[in-house]
Structure formats: C-alpha cells, structure tokens
Structure 1
Amino acid sequence: MRGALAAAIFATGAFAVSGAQAETRVTYKSAKSASSYYQMGVEIAEAMKAGTNGDIIVTLEESQGSVQNVMEAAVRQGNYVFTTPPVLVSLAQGGKAMFEGKGNPKFDEIRALFPIPSLTMHFVMRDDSGVTSLSGLEGKTILLGKGSFGATEGEKYLKLFGLEGKVTIADAELGNSAAALKNGQIDGFVTAGSYPAPNVIEAAAGTGITLIPLSDDEIAETKRTKITIPAGTYAGVDTDTVTTSLPVVAYTTTAMDDDTAYQLTKTFWDQREAMGGSAAWWNAVSPDMLENLTGKLHPGALRYYEEAGVTVPDVAK
C-alpha cells in the first residue's frame, strides 16, 4: 500500500509539474489604466483564461500610449502582445514621423493577431441644438478636450472643413462633457473611443443627444476609415451614424511561437461573443476588420484564419 501511495503521490506531482510547464504566460500592453482600452485588456485576459482553462495566463501592463507599445516591440522578448493603430506599425517600419531616427530592424518582426474595437469619432450635440451636419457647428460652443486622439482629430476636422475660428472651443476637460452638455455650458463635444462610449451614454441618458453623420466625401477628405455606429447604440439615436475611425489591432512579434499565436487568436474569436455579452464594444469587432491591416499576420494567426475560412488580404499573408 505504501508503494501504491507513493506512486500515486508521484503521479500527482508529475501531473502538477506538467500542468505548470504547459501554462503559457503572455504580457499584454495596451493603454492607461483609466482608459476603455485598458478595460478591454482586462476582458481579454479573463477571456483567455476562461477559453483555455487557464493554459494561457495574460498579465496586463499599463502603457502611456501606442507609440510606447510599438517602441517596446524592439526590445521585448517572448510572448509580448500590444495594441496600436496599424498606421503606427507602418511608420515604425519606415522610420517616419515620431519614429524618425529611431528605426530598428526589430520593427520588421511585428506581426498582427486580431483586431480590437476601433477609435471611433463621435460628434455629439444636444438634441435641441438643431445641428445635423458639420457645417452646423458654426457659431456653437464645442468641447474638444486636450491631448487625446479625439481632441487632435477634432481640431483637424475643424480646419479641414472651414470651421476654424467659427466655433467656440470650451476650456474644460472631456471628462466633464456630459455635465457641461446637461447644464448648457456647451452645445456639443467631440470624443473618440470604441462605441458605445461611456461619456456618450451618460450624455444621451442625461440630456438627449444627436450624433452628426459624415458624408462619404467628408470621410474621404479625412483619409480615415469609414465606420457605422448602429441605430440604438445610444438612447434617442434611432438611425445609423456614419463617421470615421482609426482601426486598432493586437500585435505581437515573430518571437512568439506559432502555436501560442494560433491559440491566442482562436480563443479571442471563440470568446468574442461572450465578451460582447458583458461589454457591447466587442460586438463591433468582426473578421472583416482584417482589411484594415498593414503588415503581416503572425503565421500562427494566419493558420487560424485559414482554418476558419476567413478571407485574409494578400498583403497580410
């Protein structure tokens, strides 16, 4: 009996060691801890643990932004996953713009895994403002915020469409947008984020809003990606809103082995519907968003898409 017990203990111990060895650890670097993209990272970490029965454990790291994420791709080893708009990967690989003089051959080893919710432009107006187009912003007081993608993009659009100097820019933080709209300090605000955006939900519930759509010609001028916010996403907005977006993708590098990349990608798509049940922004993600990729997919991710019958652009293979 002692021999049998010892064998059982040994077998149990061997199984535990085997299980520990099978566990794959992944670092996921996304955004500041107060952002929606950090929350998405939390949700992805939970989905990976649930979808692999704990075989993949994701550790979330706070980031100062997408540029930092890309820069770290040149020095990180192993299972490093990070989020960024695809355009920044192209700029890094070309040594252009914010990456000028900072080129690194390691940037050429960046590979895509799967898309996540896009940064979507919202032009939010009080529903009693009467504004239904960008030209209607003239003479209105608009909150843009400071330092964010939405603020920078909003300023660009005002210049692009001849509204610079014709709109009063409110001096307030974007976090106060819903309250400022409700008490009449502003006529509207501009924000960028995955939809449904929490501050837009708050504004719609507290005041009533209109979302300004962009025409195809206006979207073409912005050189951004067209996206549609579905009717019913926000209370009182009962029609689709066509606007612009900046795609965002989860990337890794060739330092990740093919099986891990395959499992991460497969688990993401297997769990996407469940994630969408608790956080609606995941419902906006579809395999069609692979069309927004620049650069290559990781071979492990490509294997999953080919098995799943997903159409992959030739440039990403």
Structure 2
Amino acid sequence: MKTKLKTLLISAALSTGLAAGVAQAQERVFFGIATGGTGGTYYPLGGMLAQVISNNSELQGKKISATAETGNASVANAGLLGRGSIESAFVAADVLDAAYNGKNQFKGKEIKNLRALGALYPETVQLVAQPGINNFADLKGRSISSGSPGSGQWQLLGDLLSAYDMSRDDIKEDYSSFSQSAEKIKDGNLDASLITAGSPTASIVELSNGHDISIVPLTGAPVKKLLEKQPYYAQTTLPAGTYKGVDKDVETIAVRAIWATHTDLPEDIAYAVTKALYENTDTLAKVHVKGKEISVQTALESVSIPLHPGAERYYREKGLIK
C-alpha cells in the first residue's frame, strides 16, 4: 500500500459585512507520526513533535500539518511503515534493525523499505514489581507482563529469562499494556511488569504515587551476557527519586528510540521534518525530561538501517556526514 501522504486544498471564503470576498487556496501536506500507548513516553513526545513540525515547516508555500497517533509501539509501528500506512513512527533501535534485516520477530519477513530519520533518546528498561521482589530470580513462579506476544518487550523478556537461565515456563506471563499492567500491580493481580520507555514513565509515576513499588536492578554477569547478544542495549542508571519510594539509584539497561519512515516519503518532506525536530529540541524538553536528551549531536547513534535521503541531506549540511 502506498503512503497515505496527500495534499488537500483548503479554500477559505473571505467576507466583509457587505459582500463575500474571493476564495483563496492553501496547499497543506499531512504527515502522521505513530507513537505508543498513553502510558508511555512515545505518546506525549510525539504530540509535541507534531506541533513543532506544524509550526516550523514549510515547503515552497506548502504547509506541513503533522499529527501524532497512538500505536502499539515498536513492532507494530515497523509494520505500519512497511505497509506505507503512516508517514513516520517511533521504533526502538533493536526492533528497527531486526525488522530491516529479518531477525527475531521478523525472521523471514524483513521490511526493506524502512529508512531512518534520526535517533531520539535512550529508553530505560524498568522492571517494576511488587515490594519484596528485589532481583530477577525472585520472579520465578510469579506473574509478569511483557506486552503483546511478538513485541519488543516480549522479545526482551525472553532474552532476559535466557540470560538468567530461566524460560517462559518458569513464570506466569501476562500480556497487558503499560497502563493495564500498572493497574494490575496496584490491585495485587500482577507481580511485575517489564516497561521500556523514557523515564519517568507516566504509568509508573501514577502507580508509585499510590502504591509501594520496587524497580528491580538488571546488572551483573547475566546482563553482561545479554548485552553481548543485544548490542543495542547499554548499561544505564535510573536515578534515585525518579519515582516515589525509589530512594536509591537502580542499575539497569537502555535502548535508544529511533524516528523512522519509509522509502515512499518524498525527500523534501523528510528534510523538512528532520530539520524541524533537531532545530527545536528545546520545545520538546518542556514536555518531558527525555526531550532534553534529543540532540543533533546524537542523531546518528544506534542507527543501523539506511538513512532517508532527505534526512541525510540535513546531516550533511550540519557536517555530521562528509
């Protein structure tokens, strides 16, 4: 299916108190951004990015009108791009690489029309659990949400279980969303949830404000083994105070989010939206603390698939590509 990118002529009839004026036409280009659920970080940042693009992008008199759409996060977003059902989407770096190269969930189903616009911010892997669950091994025999089967979260949980010499048979797996799993933890119907998102994450903030939680560390030899298998992940620290009751730094891992598109997006559009993002990062920082971590200096980090020619043109202008 071809991209849904299209233009619409909007005519505005100008009138005075005495007579109607002459209609004028303005050409408008619509540009969609697939994000994630409302309980994560993709959604609020995607909404602000849409505003930034709409307020700062013009193409020879054409106005770009961007909108953010809720989505089912990385794996589903990669599929949307592959089908040309949306102009752009947020996708975790490891999932984007797997989709392009036909690995893991995409084995035998590579999506070769994917292209990168640029890197965003590191997404923190947060293993949120009931009080008393203090290490990954404590999850044996317990219930844990990993999101939809085949999702990036689901794949990561399998990799973590393997790294800790466990399997899915050793846990009671749940497939709830971020917000749903937070509600289940609060109600005592779920022991833990694996949530990969920019921190602080809205669903965890809301949960911690009314319920004691534990953020389980992911570190040591098992995680080192995982990082060798998944090079897109890196060790990071969730600072003390990120959530109510989390009073100590928590060692965990993170993966960078990538803004991606497909080959059917026109070059001038790709150039304009890429420029709008990286030249207005201060605005994104006002919406979420992770917006402060988006920078043109890190725009090519963890980008393993081809760049869209429009984005590449912008990076050449900035001297990031020779």
Q: TM-score, normalised by structure 2?
A: 0.70
Please identify the structure whose Cα radius of gyration is greater: 1
Please state how far the C-alpha of 1:264 moved relative to its aligned partner: 1.0
* Counterpart-to-counterpart distance in 2, 1:236 and 1:34: 20
Counterpart residue number, 1:282? 291
Query: What's 1:85 paired with?
Result: 92
Give the drift of 1:211. 2.1
RMSD of Structure 2 on Structure 1 (CA): 3.9
Shift of 1:205: 1.6
Q: Determine if the alignment matches structure 1 residue 48 to structure 2 residue 88.
A: no
Contact 2:74–2:92 (CA under 8 A) maintained in structure 1: yes
Distance of 2:249 and 2:275 partners within structure 1: 31
Structure 1 distance, partners of 2:190, 2:100, is 42
User: Structure 1 145/66 Cα, relative in aligned 2: closer, same or farther at 3 Å?
Assistant: closer
Provide closer, same or farther for how the CA distance between residues 297 and 217 of structure 1 changes in structure 2, counting only shifts above 3 A: farther
Q: Deviations over 1:237-283 (max 9, x none)?
A: 34443322343311223443443322211211233222221233423
Q: What number of residue pairs does the alignment pair up?
A: 290
Matched with 2:84 is 76
Amino acid at match of 1:134: F
Deviation of 1:234 after TM superposition, in Å, equals 1.7
Alignment of 1:93-242 (within 5 A): 93-100=100-107, 102=109, 107=112, 109-126=113-130, 129=132, 131=134, 133-135=135-137, 137=138, 141-144=142-145, 146-147=147-148, 149-164=152-167, 169=172, 173=176, 175=179, 177-178=181-182, 180-182=184-186, 188-215=192-219, 217-222=221-226, 223-224=229-230, 225-226=233-234, 227-242=236-251
Per-residue deviation at 1:88? 4.2
Change in CA separation of 1:210 and 1:298 when aligned onto 2, cut-off 3 Å: same
**1:264 aligned residue:** 273
Name the structure 1 match of 2:315.
305
CA distance in 1, matches of 2:256, 2:215: 20
TM-score when normalising by structure 1: 0.71
Distance 1:156 1:28, change over 3 A: same
Deviations 1:116-161 (A, max 9, x none): 345432122445x272x434x2668443255254355334423421
Tell me which amino acid in the other structure corresponds to 2:239.
P
Between Structure 1 and Structure 2, the one with more helix by share is 1
- Secondary structure (helix, strand or coil) at the match of 2:301 reads helix
Report if the CA contact (8 A) 1:119-1:193 is conserved. Answer: yes
The structural deviation recorded for 1:291 is 1.9
Asked if 2 retains the 8 angstrom alpha-carbon contact of 1:272 and 1:282, the reply is: yes
> Could you tell me how far 1:48 is from its partner in structure 2?
1.2
CA distance, structure 2, for counterparts of residue 60 and residue 138 of structure 1: 36
Which 5+ residue runs of structure 1 have no aligned equivalent? 1-11
For 1:190 and 1:120, locate their aligned partners in 2 and report how far apart those are by CA, in whole Å: 10
Q: Which amino acid aligns with 1:83?
A: F
Higher relative strand content: 2
Aligned to 2:116, the other structure's residue is in SS state strand
Q: Identity over the aligned pairs, expressed in percent?
A: 24
1:20-72 Cα shifts (integer Å, max 9, x gaps): 24x43323334467765344432221221133389321144555554454445
Structure 2 unpaired stretches of 5+: 1-20
Q: Is the 8 A contact 2:45 2:287 kept in 1?
A: no
- In structure 2, relative to structure 1, the CA distance for the partners of 1:231 and 1:298 (3 Å cut) is farther
Letter of the structure 1 residue corresponding to residue 156 of structure 2: E
* Pair 1:238–1:277, CA change in 2 (3 A): farther
